[in-house]
Amino acid sequence: MPFPDVKLANRPLHFLYLCDCSGSMAASGKMQALNQAIRQSLPGMAAVARDNPEARVLVRAVRFADHAAWHIETPTPVDQLEWRDLQAGGITAMGEALKLVAAALQTPPMEVRALPPVLVLISDGQPTDDFAAGLEALLRVPWAQKAVRLAIALGHDADLEVLQRFIGTEPATAGRSPRRPLQASNATSLAQYIQWASTAVVGAASMPASRVSETPLEPAVGNIPLPDLPPTVLDPTDDVGPLVW
Amino acid sequence: MSWILPEGASLGFEGLAAPLRIVRGLGGGTQGQVYEVDLEGERLALKWYLPACIARDGGLERRLIASIRATAPNEDFLWPIALLRASPASRPLIRIRDESFGYLMPLRPPAYVGACEHAAGRLAIGLRQVLRACFGLADAFHSLHLAGLCYKDVSLGNLFLEPDSGGILICDNDNVAVDGADHGAVLGTPGFMAPEVLLGQARPGADSDLFSLAVLLFRLLTRHDPLKGQMELAIRCLDEPARRRLCGEDPVFIFDPVDDRNRPDPIEHAAALITWPIYPRPLQALFEQTFCRGMKQPSRRALTGQWKQELARTLDRRAFCPACGQENFQASGGPALCWSCGAPLPEPTTLLLPHGSVVAAPDNELHAHHFDALAGEDLRRPLARVVAHPQDPRRLGLRNLSTVAWSAETPDGRVQAVQPGESCSLAALTRIQSPAGPIAVQRPTRPSPAA
Ligand SMILES: Nc1ncnc2c1ncn2[C@@H]1O[C@H](COP(=O)(O)OP(=O)(O)O)[C@@H](O)[C@H]1O
Ligand SMILES: [Mg+2]
């Protein structure tokens, strides 16, 4: 006889991309690279979601250029997600994007109980609006304070200081250097970071991974110990010379 | 996935006479990547470590060498076979700069699926198979602990199930060490870790394995977590500090007979409330022992041998509800009701054995431990199996799975031989003499309503 058809209790895990779609993203194929990286990462993300039955992984995305707007507004299960390409053009309303996300992380619409949300901010430039006001609005929301916040800097023009403020300054803990924005200087490294955020980090936020003694059991500030970054896998196509932003 | 080893290529390794062909990448985790490989026509699995993992865990190579020398405690472990380092000629084909190594192990056959598939409710599996898998798990840890070893990182992620048989396989055996000896790097997986390990008061060892084993058994049997009740519902954001409180600082078993602060919620935790009553009292008592007194006193936790015994007895009690057909495992004695439909369960026909008794229900099996008090519980080599008559499923027989003939006695004193592979009808017999020992057929004292 079959095991009773009972469902495991689960909690939502909200994963939000905040994507810079300013005009500069059109240069050197950055916009296409980001679209590709996210699209390619979805099967791996779906696999992680399947392996973590205690989490219900739901994805959303915000794009920002002259204004910020929802690219995917409905929290969507990964396996149902279709990534429509983002288009570049305009300036960099990053502060507005943070305000949009801040509103979405209020309860309601946020559930009363959830896993820590994951916010991934991707940018290649400087905010052109009031970033500080946006960040302040975001960090007033308890779910944003609890969120795992990651930032990916595309190319050399990205404003690392702004991105650092978004992820927060965490003092260096034993054996771990302080967290910094991830710097993607070409399409390959961007794809690796997106893959890491959408798989390893989602895994860590939804179900704890095995712990080794060096990982502090009580994390200093971050409420989820972040997994190791992917090793730099030497790309056999590197010889061709990657596109460097 | 960016694979570190080139798929399709043949690589040479130190100490391996023949090259290994990297067939394909199977998966990657926090420690490394696992590949299917071909060694002279034999398919094996190769785990290749990330340099960061090797750097963090100084004892890794030493432990692996010791495990390889010691060999597997039983066949349910995907145990390391050989430690591999790339030969100088193959070194440039490995796509990371830092020196690294890996180990060979048996490849998991395709019929085995990750235990989280069951936890997620996506696996078609029967109650009997789940109980058999639990027995297999307890048995594997029994062998491991008897060998003086401990596993340290018990979790759903390291267990595979074969849904048709309830067979298991345990992977990720690279943290195994002599209990109390080696201070390896791993602490365990939160949610499975014993509270004293989570709080940093003890290193993982055989006692903390017993806690983690009980969590894993509970999760397989109930599809729920033993510590997730009202106290989990009170947590808004389930992050690390919250898990530390729930599983380390103030852990309360959801079915603690005394402390009712963490009872399951009827809606959120329905799985636990539906499945827990399926299991007989003595099995529930082992969970209470481990999660109540054993929560703070590691030496009071149920031992692998106790789990083996109670899980085997639970399987011996398996009977079908005449009303809904669901499997029931209630202890004999008192009036019992079906956990699924509530119908009264009739007293079953039972096979009385020198050491224990087995309900006559299709697929229930007799084993050497039913006859020999010194034989440990082992479900691998059944001596007999209850079978339903092909034409009339209500008529039950007993099939001789041993290699020697039995003699079956009818109530009027006639004796009949039952050759290996043959079945005899239980309705016509009072007693069977087998070389392992006698089997007495006990029919219900009051006739069942269905009869
Ligand atoms: N012997 C094996 N045969 C087949 N697949 C395996 C084997 N061992 C591990 N795997 C698979 O490889 C992947 C990574 O394995 P694992 O050793 O658990 O990684 P980690 O410990 O780094 O998280 C998992 O998907 C697992 O199912
Ligand atoms: Mg693992």
What are the tens digits of pLDDT across the range B29-66? 778 999 999 999 999 999 999 998 899 888 999 999 99
pLDDT band at A60 (very low <50, low <70, confident <90, very high): very high
CATH number of B347-442: 2.60.200
pLDDT band at A229 (very low <50, low <70, confident <90, very high): confident
Distance (Å) from CA B340 to ligand 1 centroid: 37
- The label of the residue with tokens 């095991």 reads A3
pLDDT band at B376 (very low <50, low <70, confident <90, very high): very high
Give pLDDT, residue A85: 98
pLDDT band at A216 (very low <50, low <70, confident <90, very high): very low
Interface of B with A in 243-282 (CB under 8 A): 243-244, 268-271, 274-275, 278
List, by residue range, all CATH 2.60.200 domains of chain B.
347-442
List, by residue range, all CATH 3.30.200.20 domains of chain B.
10-106
What are the tens digits of pLDDT across the range A75-97? 999 999 999 999 999 999 999 99
What are the tens digits of pLDDT across the range A160-185? 999 999 999 866 554 555 688 999 99
DSSP string across B213-282: HHHHHHHHHHSS-TT-SHHHHT-SB--HHHHHIIIIIS---TT-SS--TTPPPTTTTHHHHHHGGGS-HH
What are the tens digits of pLDDT across the range A188-208? 899 999 999 999 899 888 877
pLDDT band at A222 (very low <50, low <70, confident <90, very high): low
- What ipTM was predicted for this assembly? 0.90
Percent of chain B with pLDDT strictly greater than 90: 86
List, by residue range, all CATH 1.10.510.10 domains of chain B.
113-310
Percent of chain A with pLDDT strictly greater than 90: 73
Running DSSP on this structure, what letter comes out for residue A29? Answer: G
**Per-residue 3-state assignment (H helix, E strand, C coil) for B55-103:** HHCCCHHHHHHHHHHHCCCCCCECCCCEEECECCCCHHHCCCCCCCCEE
- One-letter amino acid at B43 equals R
Q: Nearest C-alpha to atom 23 of ligand 1 is from which residue?
A: B29
CA distance A223 to A225: 7
Contacts of B187 in chain A (CB under 8 A): 210-213, 217
Which has more pLDDT, A58 or B183? A58
Establish how many alpha carbons lie within 13 A of residue B112's alpha carbon, considering only the half-sphere containing its beta carbon: 18
pLDDT of A220 higher than 70: no
Give pLDDT, residue A172: 56
The whole-chain average pLDDT of chain B stands at 94
Q: Are B168 and B162 in contact (CB under 8 A)?
A: yes
pLDDT of A240 higher than 50: no
Domains of chain A, residue spans:
21-169+179-209+221-240
Residue in A with minimal Cα distance to B324: A1
Mutate to test the pocket of ligand 1, among B3, B5, B43, B47 (most ligand atoms within 8 A of CB): B47
**Closest ligand to A48 CA?**
1
Beta partners for residue A62, in sequence order: A18, A70
Give pLDDT, residue A7: 81
CATH number of A21-169+179-209+221-240: 3.40.50.410
The answer to which of A26-40, A230-244, B142-156, B390-404 has the lowest mean pLDDT is A230-244
Q: Is B78 in the pocket of ligand 1 (CB under 6 A)?
A: yes
Please report the atom of ligand 1 found closest to the CA of residue B32.
Answer: 22
CA distance B157 to B381: 28
Q: Is B63 in the pocket of ligand 1 (CB under 6 A)?
A: no
Q: Is B109 in the pocket of ligand 1 (CB under 6 A)?
A: no
Q: Nearest C-alpha to atom 10 of ligand 1 is from which residue?
A: B34
pLDDT of B201 higher than 80: yes
pLDDT band at A236 (very low <50, low <70, confident <90, very high): very low
Tell me which residue of A137, A12, A151 sits closest to A74, measured CA to CA.
Answer: A12
Interface of B with A in 303-342 (CB under 8 A): 320, 325-327, 340
CA distance A64 to A23: 11
pLDDT band at B189 (very low <50, low <70, confident <90, very high): confident
Distance (Å) from CA B271 to ligand 1 centroid: 28
For residues A221-237, average pLDDT: 67
Q: Which alpha helices (DSSP H) does B147-205 contain, by range?
A: 195-198
Q: Which alpha helices (DSSP H) does chain A contain, by range?
A: 30-51, 94-104, 131-139, 142-146, 160-167, 187-196, 202-206
**pTM for this prediction:** 0.93
For residues B400-427, average pLDDT: 96
Q: Inter-chain contact A217–B233, Cβ cutoff 8 Å?
A: no
The answer to which of A98-102, B44-48, B259-263, B410-414 has the lowest mean pLDDT is B410-414
How many residue pairs from chains A and B have C-beta atoms closer than 8 A?
154
pLDDT of B451 higher than 50: no
Tell me which residue of B49, B53, B39 sits closest to B11, measured CA to CA.
Answer: B39
Residue in A with minimal Cα distance to B267: A9
pLDDT band at B28 (very low <50, low <70, confident <90, very high): confident
What are the tens digits of pLDDT across the range B210-220? 999 999 999 99
CATH number of B10-106: 3.30.200.20
For residues B354-360, average pLDDT: 97
CATH number of B113-310: 1.10.510.10
Q: Inter-chain contact B240–A5, Cβ cutoff 8 Å?
A: no
Give pLDDT, residue A139: 97
Q: How buried is B15 (Cβ within 10 angstroms: 0-12 exposed, 13-18 middle, 19+ buried)?
A: exposed
φ and ψ at B296, to 5 degrees? -100, -15
Interface of B with A in 49-78 (CB under 8 A): 50-53, 56-57
Distance (Å) from CA B157 to ligand 2 centroid: 6
Please report the atom of ligand 1 found closest to the CA of residue B31.
Answer: 22
CA distance A129 to chain B (A): 31
What distance lies between CA A219 and its chain's CA centroid? 20
